[in-house]
Amino acid sequence: MFVQFGATAAHAAPAATPAERSLMAIGAPGAQRVAVLDCASGEPVASGVLPAALTAEAALAPDGSALYVATRERELLRFGLPGFREQARVPMSFDVTVLASAAGADAIVLAGGRGDGALSAHDPDTLAELQRYRLPAPFAVSAIRDTPARRRLAVAFADVREAWEIAYDRNAPPVLQGLVHDYRSNEAVPLPGRLTPRRFELPNATRALLAGPAPYELARLDASGALGIVHLDVRRQIERPATTGPVLPGRIAAWRDGARRGWLIAAPGAGDAQVLEVGSWRVTGRVDARGEILALAASGDRVLVAHASDDGVAVSPADAAKGVLLAPLRRLGTPPLPLRFVAGSGDCVALLDRDDRWLAGFVAPPLR
């Protein structure tokens, strides 16, 4: 399952520590074996067999020091890297379907799932529960996305018409509850800024949250694949841009060029991608891939495009602002489809095939 396919990049230096390498985790729901690879080269770093199958995608600590997994035995586990030694294990009272690990000294692990109180924050070292979140009825968490520049995790739900931001910064300002006019009279109820959700309404429930070109922007997909843009500073969905057909995860990626920014969007089966631009909130151009687009991912200020070519599959960067596809970075033969990009620790993005085999890794400066 973890054999490389068409790897051509050089291996990382053996002496490098996890924090000095860009790592990626392979561990999909239903699998019982997990692996950690060097993202840029595909070189194996660690692997192991779990006591039970995964219920959520394995989550890598942003600094590459640990791997977090949730299993069908309703347990949350931490494995230290690169030795893959179990360091912590705690029981969970709900089925975990989404895991995320934040970065920095104030980091937390956030576990979401289905059921009553199916969202909890945990200490990243001991996995001790720091906070449990409840709603009047059982709920299902559909997405958790870290926004490191804000030091917050965004959370969305498959059956609740709202989203939350949960700050993990110990110096986060208080969360004020009450009517707007109460704030002016200091009558609002201040709650601790760290770990208290900042809740806001959305037009409908959410299928996925996707990174934007600015820290305060997220793309949101609902159950029908309709695209919405969430502005985290004002805590609401500000736009619902018109796109051709539904939008799928893995077929949308953020781009930026100076003051211009937006998303590149490829419809299923399409050979070109729509250039959606912030400000006008319209499709202002298209990028022709000269073959079916198979996957998209942000890489620095540009977008990586995995697309069909005359000799199989190629990966090329797109300059969305100019509407052009640049020369291929890799040609990969004919790997089994579908393909997907996976973000590693640091600034690396790796392309995997249908069988979760590493195909190629790409390193670029992060979005500023």
Q: How far is the C-alpha of 282 from the C-alpha of 221, rounded, in Å?
A: 17
pLDDT band at 245 (very low <50, low <70, confident <90, very high): confident
Pairing of strands 85-91, 75-80: antiparallel
Contact 159, 135 (CB under 8 A): no
What pLDDT is stored for residue 345 in this prediction?
Answer: 86
pLDDT band at 347 (very low <50, low <70, confident <90, very high): confident
Q: How far is the C-alpha of 218 from the C-alpha of 260, rounded, in Å?
A: 16
What pLDDT is stored for residue 364 in this prediction?
Answer: 72
Distances (CA, A) of 177 to 52, 130, 132, 189, 193: 42, 21, 19, 5, 12
Q: For the chain, what is the total number of helices (H) and then of strands (E)? A: 1, 33
Q: How far is the C-alpha of 64 from the C-alpha of 261, rounded, in Å?
A: 29
Mean pLDDT of 241-248: 90
The per-residue pLDDT for range 107-158, each reduced to its tens digit, is 999 999 999 999 999 999 999 999 999 999 999 999 999 999 999 999 999 9
Contact 367, 301 (CB under 8 A): yes
- In sequence order, what are the residues at sequence separation of 6 or more whose Cβ sits closer than 8 angstroms to the Cβ of residue 170? 106, 194
Two structure tokens written together for 262: 């937006």
Two structure tokens written together for 129: 């529960």
Contact 143, 155 (CB under 8 A): yes
In this predicted structure, the answer to whether residue 252 has a pLDDT above a threshold of 50 is yes
Average pLDDT, the chain: 90
DSSP label at residue 53: -
Provide the residue type at 92 as one letter.
M
What pLDDT is stored for residue 365 in this prediction?
Answer: 53
Q: Give Cα 328 distance to the centre of its chain.
A: 25
What pLDDT is stored for residue 276 in this prediction?
Answer: 97
> Helix, strand, or coil here: 177?
strand
Q: How far is the C-alpha of 281 from the C-alpha of 261, rounded, in Å?
A: 10
Distances (CA, A) of 351 to 27, 179, 252, 346: 14, 48, 15, 15
pLDDT band at 181 (very low <50, low <70, confident <90, very high): very low
Q: Read out DSSP for 137-196?
A: S-EEEEEEEEETTTTEEEEEESSSSEEEEEE--TTPPPEEES-HHHHHTT-SEEE-SSS-
Pairing of strands 197-201, 162-167: antiparallel
- Burial 326-339, CB ≥16 within 10 A → b, else e: eeeebbbeebeeeb
The per-residue pLDDT for range 273-327, each reduced to its tens digit, is 999 999 999 999 999 999 999 999 998 888 999 999 999 999 999 999 999 999 9
| Percent of residues, the chain, with pLDDT higher than 90 | 84
pLDDT band at 178 (very low <50, low <70, confident <90, very high): low
Q: Give Cα 213 distance to the centre of its chain.
A: 14
The per-residue pLDDT for range 15-26, each reduced to its tens digit, is 455 456 799 999
> Helix, strand, or coil here: 182?
helix
Two structure tokens written together for 79: 């494995």
Mean pLDDT of 70-87: 96
Q: Give Cα 361 distance to the centre of its chain.
A: 17
Residues in the chain: 368
Cis link prior to 82 (omega < 30° from 0)? yes
Q: How far is the C-alpha of 46 from the C-alpha of 60, rounded, in Å?
A: 12
